[in-house]
Amino acid sequence: MRLYVEPMDSVVIDVAADGQVRLENEDWSVPSLQERRAIIYAATNELAALTELLEILDPPAGPHEPTQAVRNTKR
């Protein structure tokens, strides 16, 4: 994982189940309340951006849309 957290000017590279985070070039630590909020905000924004990207590049096929491109067979 690599999540850039702008307010902290840091990159989160790993998260443990107990809430500790590992920042790039640092050891494991428990983030402060402000750091937790900044990480959550960055992750939420990244998730929204990635969801939008997926919807653009791989849109779900509608009920009347073909799942594959249809060739023009007229000559």
How much is the average pLDDT of 39-61? Answer: 94
Task: Give a yes or no: residue 64 inside a domain.
Answer: no
Based on the number of CB atoms within 10 Å of its own CB, is 68 exposed (0-12), middle (13-18) or buried (19 or more)? exposed
Task: Give a yes or no: residue 67 inside a domain.
Answer: no
How much is the average pLDDT of 51-68? Answer: 80
In 3-state terms, the chain is what percent helix, strand and coil (to 5)? Answer: 35, 20, 45
Task: Give a yes or no: residue 29 inside a domain.
Answer: yes
In the chain, the number of structural domains is 1
Tell me what percent of the residues of the chain surpass a pLDDT of 90.
77
Q: Look at residue 61 in the predicted model and tell me its pLDDT.
A: 77
- Tokens in use for 62? 């509608």
Q: How far apart are CA 4 and CA 7, in angstroms?
A: 9
Q: Look at residue 71 in the predicted model and tell me its pLDDT.
A: 55
How much is the average pLDDT of 56-75? Answer: 67
Domain that holds residue 34: 3-57
Cβ 22 vs Cβ 13: under 8 Å: yes
Decide if pLDDT at 68 tops 60: no
Cβ 54 vs Cβ 47: under 8 Å: no
